[in-house]
Structure 1
Amino acid sequence: MIQFSIIIPNYNHSKYLRERIESVINQSYQNFEIIILDDASTDNSREVIENYRTHAKVKAIIYNETNTGLQSLQWIKGIEAASFDWIWVAESDDIAEPNFLNDAAAEIGNQNKAVIYYTDSYHMKSAEKDPSQVKFSSMKGNYFNTGHWNINYSEDGIVEIDTYMKYVCTINNVSCCVVPKKEALDVLYQFPHMIFYNDWLFYIQMLERCPVVYSASCQNWYRIHQESHFSTRGTGLIKRKECFNILCYLYKAPYITGKNQLVRFFTEQYLGIGIWKERKYIVPLFAFCLKRSPAVFLKFLTHLLVIKITRKKIKYIF
């Protein structure tokens, strides 16, 4: 029987935390344990969390005394405390539908190997759940001009990376995903800690080890708000540096095709967007990229100058 360890990492999401925990506890599939982590929140998250200390499903509650600001460190801590072989990192500001784990268990049970399982998600911008809100399958399908995410599918991990994942993190967010514990720790123990794009690189490295299984059923609500991790921390320089690191990782990978096209895509969608309006970042970004990979930097710089000179209009992903 499939058993899940559910990691709920939290930082200052007290207003969403109860709804998140309840959406986990009330899953129709009940073979799971819960591990709650708090990264030294300054709101009343601890008060909310303590209400669940004696709940039968809660295996552990772990508090940090100082804030790390790094999701991957929290993931490692939670997964190390896990008893079971399948991990669901349920971010503290998202919401799960009651059948998320039931569907995951059914799909995983059909496999005789470690897989990455994920579902479609709603892009939740309102305070309440509203099924009329945009689905990630529609957003991705519109950009790539495909119905790929409208139906269930399974795919070899390397093929998935080279077809879609090399361009954008097509696994919508960590809350919609279940991963095998052993492979997740293998990746995370060697992981370069990132602030913004750690999930993208994590999935790339997981897909190098495992095939992917996708459900077109919307079983996750990805909440967009001003206090979200991606919205509140760091600067455009940090984001661009992290994107360049991912680009270099992909560029070096032997299975990646169309590498010059990939550099152009990263230049248009990540590295170059708004750079001429944020001139203070140009010199430190160029210095970082040149040191990281002179060959990739030269291609990036060439594409950047072509875009500026030709005033090329860019079709952005989202």
Structure 2
Amino acid sequence: MSLVSVIIPNYNHGRFLSERIDSILNQSFTEFECIVLDDASNDNSKAIIEGYVTKDTRIKFYPFENNSGSPFVQWNRGVELASNDLIWIAESDDSCDTTLLQTLVNEHLKYPHIGLAYCQSLKIDADSNISGSWKDFTFNMDAELFNVNFIMDGMDFISNFLIHKNVIPNASAVVFKKSVFGKAGGADVFLTTNSDWLCWLTMLVNHSVAFVPHPLNKFRFHSDSVIAKHKSFCSPIYKEQFDCSMRYRFELWCKEQRVHLSAKILAVNQQYISYDIGNRGLHLFRNGKWLNGLADIIKASVFPQFTLGYVRRIFRRGNS
């Protein structure tokens, strides 16, 4: 009988799949089912997965004929199919240490009130070489806290960290409860980015979080990864919802669920929304859409500490 449902949502990651599946099958914790979802890949993914299905009865394969267009549709499908309350979404291009699952399951067993437990992550490249650590991502927020194990009230975690940026940058580092995920409404499939961030926020408004500082997860950064595409963004299409739409949806969800957010959380969230609107305005202004850009910059000026720089940047560009 299994205790954990491991979900692998895959799309065209055939070159990484064997390493991903092997890293799961080699876990020291073995009481799990493995649900593999394929979102109509056009590479060799299906053949690779089918080869593993014949070798290990814990693996269940669900191929889909039509591409959903969103990894978060796959998240919801996988969680719905899961027969256990503990869920690990192991992204198909990532890898991990053999003790990841045991370590995070132990956190849930020791602290049953938590909604999710996550560990530190290493960065790896397309060839699985370690290229860095995600520890740097939180260093300027708290240089000491993320060096040790901790349990924190969810609202405190949101207020201190998660409302500022997604300090849980990779789902592969997380084991969460299906029941908590369901009460939070699952993954928002209308967000093309940051639905994972929204999930962590909505799950933690009513539940605590556990953190393990050991870098047991290996978060792959490669040319086709979502985060790489965001970082390389330089097209005339501004990715408005990279942060802004997610923040609007978080506030809306809290209102609908009658969740009370502190004045501090609301103020910080509104300031970041203002910053994003200002960035969009600057982008539009620089691409010849003067009126729309100026309208956004004026709208963002509700929080001038976030927007005075925009005017200076526009004039610098005009004088260069």
1:136 CA drift (Å)? 1.2
Gaps of 5+ in 1: 291-295, 313-318
Do 1:76 and 1:188's aligned partners in 2 also have CA atoms closer than 8 Å?
A: no
Do 1:272 and 1:304's aligned partners in 2 also have CA atoms closer than 8 Å?
A: no
Of the candidates 279, 288, 293, which is equivalent to residue 287 of structure 2?
279
Do 1:7 and 1:34's aligned partners in 2 also have CA atoms closer than 8 Å?
A: yes
1:138 CA drift (Å)? 2.3
Do 2:20 and 2:95's aligned partners in 1 also have CA atoms closer than 8 Å?
A: yes
Give the alignment's Cα RMSD to 1 decimal.
Answer: 3.2
Letter of the 1:136 counterpart? W
Do 2:274 and 2:302's aligned partners in 1 also have CA atoms closer than 8 Å?
A: yes
Question: 2 CA distance for matches of 1:36 and 1:109?
Answer: 25
- Aligned 1:100-119 pairs, distance under 5 A: 100-119=100-119
Matched, 1:227 2:224: yes
Matched, 1:307 2:309: yes
1:128 CA drift (Å)? 2.4
Of the candidates 143, 165, 168, which is equivalent to residue 168 of structure 1?
165
Secondary structure of residue in 2 paired with 1:213:
strand
Alignment match, 1:245: 245
Alignment match, 1:12: 12
Alignment match, 2:317: none
- Aligned 1:1-318 pairs, distance under 5 A: 3-125=3-125, 127-130=127-130, 133-141=131-139, 143-189=140-186, 191=188, 193-232=190-229, 237=237, 239-249=239-249, 254-257=261-264, 259-268=266-275, 272=279, 275=283, 279=287, 297-299=299-301, 305-311=307-313
Post-superposition CA distance 1:249-290 (Å, at most 9, x none): 456652250644544445557861772676278877899x89
Do 2:243 and 2:276's aligned partners in 1 also have CA atoms closer than 8 Å?
A: no
- State the identity as a percent: 25
Letter of the 1:203 counterpart? W
1:152 CA drift (Å)? 0.8
Question: 2 CA distance for matches of 1:15 and 1:145?
Answer: 37
Q: Report the CA distance shift for 1:300/1:225 in structure 2 as closer, same or farther (over 3 A).
A: farther
Letter of the 2:143 counterpart? T
Tell me the TM-score normalised to structure 1 length.
0.83
Q: Report the CA distance shift for 1:44/1:126 in structure 2 as closer, same or farther (over 3 A).
A: closer
Q: Report the CA distance shift for 1:258/1:78 in structure 2 as closer, same or farther (over 3 A).
A: closer
Post-superposition CA distance 1:68-106 (Å, at most 9, x none): 121221111111111111000000000011000111122
Q: Report the CA distance shift for 1:63/1:188 in structure 2 as closer, same or farther (over 3 A).
A: farther
Q: Report the CA distance shift for 1:125/1:56 in structure 2 as closer, same or farther (over 3 A).
A: closer
Do 2:278 and 2:310's aligned partners in 1 also have CA atoms closer than 8 Å?
A: no
Q: Report which structure shows greater RCO (CA 8 Å, sep ≥6).
A: 1
- Bigger drift between 300-309 and 145-154 goes to 300-309
Tell me the TM-score normalised to structure 2 length.
0.82
Secondary structure of residue in 1 paired with 2:72:
helix
